[in-house]
A and B are shown apart, each in its own frame.
Chain A
Amino acid sequence: MARINIEGAQNVNVSKRLPSEKTPDEQLAIMEAYTRAHQESLNRNKAERELNCLKVLFPTLFRRIEPQDLIAGRLDFLPIGFGSVTSIGGVGHYCVFHELRAFSERLEDPEKKARAMALYDYWQDHDVKALYCNDVLNDTTTGRFIDCKYPFMATARLSGMMLNYEKLVRLGINGICDELNRVEDNDFIRACIGAMDLFKDVIQKQIQLVQNAMADADPKRMKELVQMKEDLEFLLDHKPETFRQALQLLWLFALCAGCINYGRLDIVLGPYLKRDLENGTLTWEEAREIVRSLWTLIENRRTTVNGRIIVGGQGRKDPEACDLFARLCLEVCRSTKYVEPQFTLRFDSTTPKELLDMAYDCLASGHTYPTLYNDDVNVPAVAWGMRVDRKTAEQYVPFGCTEYVIQGKSTGTPNTLLNLLKILQMALNEGVDPMDGINKAGPVHVKKLEEFHTFEEFFDQYKQLLDYYFDLSVQAQKYSYEVMNREVSFLFTSILMDDCIARGRALLDGGVEILGGTNETYGNINTSDALYAIRKLVFEDRKYTLRQLNDAALADFEGQENARIRKDLLAQGKYGNDIEEVDTLANELYEYVAKGIRDRGIAAGLGYYLIVISNNQTNSDWGLQTDASLDGRKKGMYMNPANNPVGGAAKNGPTACMNSLAKFDAKYHAGSVQNMKFTPRMMKEDEAKVRAMWKTYFKKGGCQLMVTCVDPGELEDAMVHPENHTDLIVRVAGYSAVFINLDRHVQEELLSRELYD
């Protein structure tokens, strides 16, 4: 029986899912069969157990082909099953307990309800994440993701796997099988071979589903379906030869592997596209419709913060072919308004102007895509941060909200999250979190405020607390790999990750070339602004004592005297205004945290372990559970997004903000997102100036930029009249969303950000 709370939200989930195609009875039967397969395989090796379980899910859970589909492959998932990420189920053998409970409550027959709840009981002791959480979570320091009472949250998941699809299309199914048959046999390899057989069953199933769709097809649709069927049949025994076939193959494999980020598809698909166009077997318009179909399939998976397709940048063998695919994607991006895929353009100083023009046009017309990643900065930064050579670093890919991995070569799942601001408040309150009065300092002795005689003494105290949490963080990350590896092999993922097959080992069992990881940090800028205000008002101007400031915050700045103190706090320099001493302190904190995490990761034997300042909406959620802070922020207020200024604090215009943003050296993090809002007027009328501004920012070291384009008053109006703004898409942080689907406190945070006009 689980000791910890196993229910509750486990990921940021804004988009509404499509309901399962299966009837509740069918779903119950599948979940029971899955559970049975798991139970009966308990004494088998983990790889075989996984395969037995996967055989219950595949190909059964594949849905019918929809009329607009040009590629086959739609997959349901249930409250119990196998996966990698919480966005589509869970990790390894999973049970999403609150969804299973809700499922059982929808069943009318008490006997069936009881059957569902029997599964609930079984999985309490077998759900991989619950097993992890049982060991790691506690009542003070470490909470479940997402339980915002804690300064630190930890989870088990395998997010952001981007597979070596280039290998898949180059070898085809049989080629992969040959490779598996060539290496020394073991449990893992045998299960991989079984998985590839299962993959063929999945393709067979698609053929059947396509045939089903032919029943009521008109001649035009029939032609498309015939093509799909021929392609699927061809793939059973051949490696792909056309653009369509290559895409079909990788799409189905990604579904089976539970991958929801796809990576550098221009490298995989560009050469096929080029060849098909050249030999006249495919027109540009046909290709665009195929990509549009891919866009729709990804949108329909509704994974909120994922769905990354990346084009452009360094490290591509045939840039011309790749750029053809990039152009196709940009055209589709311009003509669809979806929150996913998270379409991403990597670029550098050599990127063709045409692509940059198209990207600008997409952004100026309010699509929020592509997100922009600057290879001139990121490639050397990744090489240093992850300790890999430049060639390897060229294959970096941002997944989810922005975390970088090396495609086909590294894991980088962010299984740990730190709230820097909460920890600062503990430093101010002898280790106690003023939000709930609980001491969360662990073994760290935290001095009384009167004992700090210099700013440095106080800052050191804060650093001691941070150090303690960094230790917790690296342990929790490593342990998540241990637990996942104990339970599962991630067969499909392992097959396409270097160098699992050659090593004959599963992904987390020594198979993956680079076992990395990431730690999300939150409240970075509230914290550095607060530290700056403390230094200035207490230790430089000596206007207040630290006690006076802290007492005011504990009272949430209520009462006239406290309100005056808050006014003073708010009047201090804030990050985002290009103020040297403020930015320097922000950078000092950033580097302390980034290096603290990175060094511990190296010491613990990880390939890399780096912070990400990515932000989903956890800055808002965690803010609700974080007490008033000495940057002037009220209790329960959202925290700053990513490493961007606190909402409303950046008063000096976009160049000042960009100068502040560019000060953090990218080599210490594995992704950091920079959100800015511009008006359509500015994007249109001042295009040359806006582009010159971005270009300068990127030259100055800016690693990334994501843009929301809205009219003044549009967000406010959408809060009052959501019905008039159903297609208003905004960039929250590391993901886009339909504005009216967001929680109100997230909407308010977005509104607070400066809109440049």
Chain B
Amino acid sequence: MISVSNIERFATRDGPGIRTTVFLKGCPLHCPWCANPETWQKEPVLMHMENKCVHCRICESVCTRHAISFEEKMFRIRRESCDHCGQCAEACLNSALSINGTYMENEAVLREVLKDLDYYRESGGGVTFSGGEPLFQKEAAVSLIKQAKESGLHVAIETTGVCEPSLLQQAEPYIDLFLFDIKHVNEEKLSAVTGAPFEIVQKNFEYLCEKRGGDVIARVPVIPGFNREDLDEILTFIKAHPVRAVNLLPFHNLGKTKWHQLQKDYAYEEASSLSAKELEPYRDELVTIGG
């Protein structure tokens, strides 16, 4: 069984052609701009939409573990007490509560993915495993990736690069395309802001580039205040490797509501999205703007 956050069909920004992106749960990083913070933990997670909540407190009354309260007229959840049984979400008449995350058999995941096989064939698409970090769930993830490949699918992964090198090496033969995040090349900055150890990222990146450079697309989420100013340095690093392409992904704040639903503070509350135009000067034969 593997913990799945979401399966998105007709995903158009996660690799070539028409794709289905499987968002797997669990991530060793905690990037403050993350657009999918609900994927950080492998276990299911309760999400609450304040704009749908009428404070009827039915959820509070059905929670057997007393994880929910409405102190100071605010919905509160003690996550350490929540066993994500889902009773509160079922009881909520306004659908303000939901549980993100389901454990699925590989076959069930692939059944869903294969529904669009004809579209992949027509467009040169396939499946993309994203996250979270798609390899966070280790052997379970490798097994799913392998099975996807054996089903005849074009397989891509969207990886943070933060995983045991041996795992990546196990999975590598079953992957056609690596969308590899290079968030920063400054060890301290990277670690302080995202928690990622650059050493591992670099090791995995170099391994892939050496073996499969033509199948590696390096992706740089361009974040104001984090790496926007260091882009030259980052691109120099990437370009020293034989990658197929580099995508600069301008910062967007579309994940904001998810942070709210998880009762997490979002560091970019007031920040506006970065315009693609601003990154145009970096465009060249290797570098494109957007996914």
Q: A653-B10, A756-B10 are in contact. Are A693 and B93 (CB under 8 A)?
A: no
Contact across chains for A688 and B10 when beta carbons are under 8 A apart = no
Q: A578-B115, A689-B18, A692-B122 are in contact. Are A653 and B8 (CB under 8 A)?
A: yes
- State which of A455-463, A654-662, A736-744 sits at the interface with chain B: A654-662
Contact across chains for A696 and B9 when beta carbons are under 8 A apart = no
Q: 0/1 per residue, B1-32, Cβ < 8 Å to A? A: 00000001110100001100000000000000
> By the criterion of a CB under 8 Å from any partner CB, how many residues of chain A are at the interface?
22
The smallest beta-carbon distance between A315 and chain B, in angstroms, is: 27
> What CA separation (Å) do A692 and B121 show in the bound complex?
9
Indicate if B118 sits at the interface (CB-CB under 8 A). yes
Contact across chains for B118 and A700 when beta carbons are under 8 A apart = yes
Q: 0/1 per residue, B100-139, Cβ < 8 Å to A? A: 0000000000000001101101110100000000000000
Contact across chains for B93 and A655 when beta carbons are under 8 A apart = no
The smallest beta-carbon distance between A674 and chain B, in angstroms, is: 16
Picked from B8, B18, B93, B115, the residue with its CB within 8 Å of the CB of A692 is B18
Contact across chains for A696 and B122 when beta carbons are under 8 A apart = yes
Task: Name the A residues within 8 Å of B12 (CB-CB).
Answer: 682, 686, 689
The smallest beta-carbon distance between B171 and chain A, in angstroms, is: 26
Contact across chains for B95 and A655 when beta carbons are under 8 A apart = no
Within 8 A of A (CB), among B229-275: none
- State which of A391-399, A513-521, A560-568 sits at the interface with chain B: A560-568
Picked from A560, A653, A695, the residue with its CB within 8 Å of the CB of B9 is A653
Q: 0/1 per residue, A723-757, Cβ < 8 Å to B? A: 00000000000000000000000000000000010
Contact across chains for B116 and A655 when beta carbons are under 8 A apart = yes
Q: A686-B12, A693-B10 are in contact. Are A655 and B123 (CB under 8 A)?
A: no
Q: 0/1 per residue, A637-661, Cβ < 8 Å to B? A: 0000000000000001111100100
Indicate if A200 sits at the interface (CB-CB under 8 A). no
> What CA separation (Å) do A696 and B9 show in the bound complex?
15
Contact across chains for B116 and A692 when beta carbons are under 8 A apart = no
Q: A563-B93, A567-B93, A567-B95 are in contact. Are A689 and B17 (CB under 8 A)?
A: yes
Indicate if A699 sits at the interface (CB-CB under 8 A). yes
Contact across chains for A693 and B18 when beta carbons are under 8 A apart = yes
> What CA separation (Å) do A653 and B122 show in the bound complex?
17
Contact across chains for A689 and B9 when beta carbons are under 8 A apart = no
Task: Name the A residues within 8 Å of B9 (CB-CB).
Answer: 652-653, 655-656
> In this complex, what residue of B is CB-closest to A697?
B119
> In this complex, what residue of A is CB-closest to B121?
A696
Contact across chains for B123 and A693 when beta carbons are under 8 A apart = yes
Task: Name the B residues within 8 Å of A564 (CB-CB).
Answer: 91, 93
Task: Name the B residues within 8 Å of A699 (CB-CB).
Answer: 118, 122
Task: Name the A residues within 8 Å of B10 (CB-CB).
Answer: 653-656, 689, 693, 756
Within 8 A of B (CB), among A520-579: 560, 563-564, 567, 578
> By the criterion of a CB under 8 Å from any partner CB, how many residues of chain B are at the interface?
17
Contact across chains for A655 and B119 when beta carbons are under 8 A apart = yes
Q: 0/1 per residue, B127-158, Cβ < 8 Å to A? A: 00000000000000000000000000000000
Q: A560-B93, A686-B12, A689-B17 are in contact. Are A656 and B115 (CB under 8 A)?
A: yes
Q: A652-B9, A653-B8, A656-B9 are in contact. Are A693 and B119 (CB under 8 A)?
A: yes
Q: A564-B93, A567-B93, A689-B17 are in contact. Are A696 and B8 (CB under 8 A)?
A: no
> In this complex, what residue of B is CB-closest to A652?
B9
Task: Name the B residues within 8 Å of A578 (CB-CB).
Answer: 115
> What CA separation (Å) do A654 and B119 show in the bound complex?
11
> What CA separation (Å) do A700 and B119 show in the bound complex?
10
> What CA separation (Å) do A567 and B89 show in the bound complex?
11
> What CA separation (Å) do A756 and B123 show in the bound complex?
18
Task: Name the A residues within 8 Å of B91 (CB-CB).
Answer: 564
Within 8 A of A (CB), among B70-119: 91, 93, 95, 115-116, 118-119
Q: A653-B9, A653-B10 are in contact. Are A696 and B93 (CB under 8 A)?
A: no
> In this complex, what residue of A is CB-closest to B91?
A564
Picked from B17, B116, B122, the residue with its CB within 8 Å of the CB of A695 is B122
Contact across chains for A659 and B115 when beta carbons are under 8 A apart = yes
Task: Name the B residues within 8 Å of A700 (CB-CB).
Answer: 118
Task: Name the A residues within 8 Å of B115 (CB-CB).
Answer: 578, 655-656, 659
Q: 0/1 per residue, A273-306, Cβ < 8 Å to B? A: 0000000000000000000000000000000000
Picked from A560, A686, A689, A696, the residue with its CB within 8 Å of the CB of B118 is A696
> What CA separation (Å) do A654 and B121 show in the bound complex?
16
Task: Name the B residues within 8 Å of A659 (CB-CB).
Answer: 115-116
Q: 0/1 per residue, A567-606, Cβ < 8 Å to B? A: 1000000000010000000000000000000000000000
> In this complex, what residue of B is CB-closest to A695?
B122
Contact across chains for B123 and A688 when beta carbons are under 8 A apart = yes
Task: Name the B residues within 8 Å of A563 (CB-CB).
Answer: 93
Contact across chains for A692 and B119 when beta carbons are under 8 A apart = yes
> What CA separation (Å) do A653 and B116 show in the bound complex?
11
Most chain A Cβ neighbours within 10 Å, of B8, B91, B122, B125: B122
> What CA separation (Å) do A689 and B93 show in the bound complex?
38
Within 8 A of B (CB), among A679-695: 682, 686, 688-689, 692-693, 695
The smallest beta-carbon distance between A413 and chain B, in angstroms, is: 37
Q: A656-B9, A689-B12, A689-B18 are in contact. Are A696 and B95 (CB under 8 A)?
A: no
**A-B complex: 3 closest residue pairs judged by Cβ atoms:** A692-B123, A653-B10, A653-B9
Additional A-B contacts beyond A689-B125, A692-B122, A696-B123 (18; CB < 8 A):
A560-B93, A564-B91, A564-B93, A653-B9, A653-B10, A655-B119, A656-B115, A656-B116, A659-B115, A682-B12, A689-B12, A689-B18, A692-B123, A693-B18, A695-B122, A696-B121, A696-B122, A700-B118
Pick 12 A–B contacts, CB within 8 A, sort by A.
A563-B93, A564-B91, A655-B116, A689-B12, A692-B119, A693-B10, A693-B18, A693-B122, A693-B123, A696-B118, A699-B118, A700-B118
Q: Residues on B close to A: CB < 8 A?
A: 8-10, 12, 17-18, 91, 93, 95, 115-116, 118-119, 121-123, 125
Q: Residues on A close to B: CB < 8 A?
A: 560, 563-564, 567, 578, 652-656, 659, 682, 686, 688-689, 692-693, 695-696, 699-700, 756
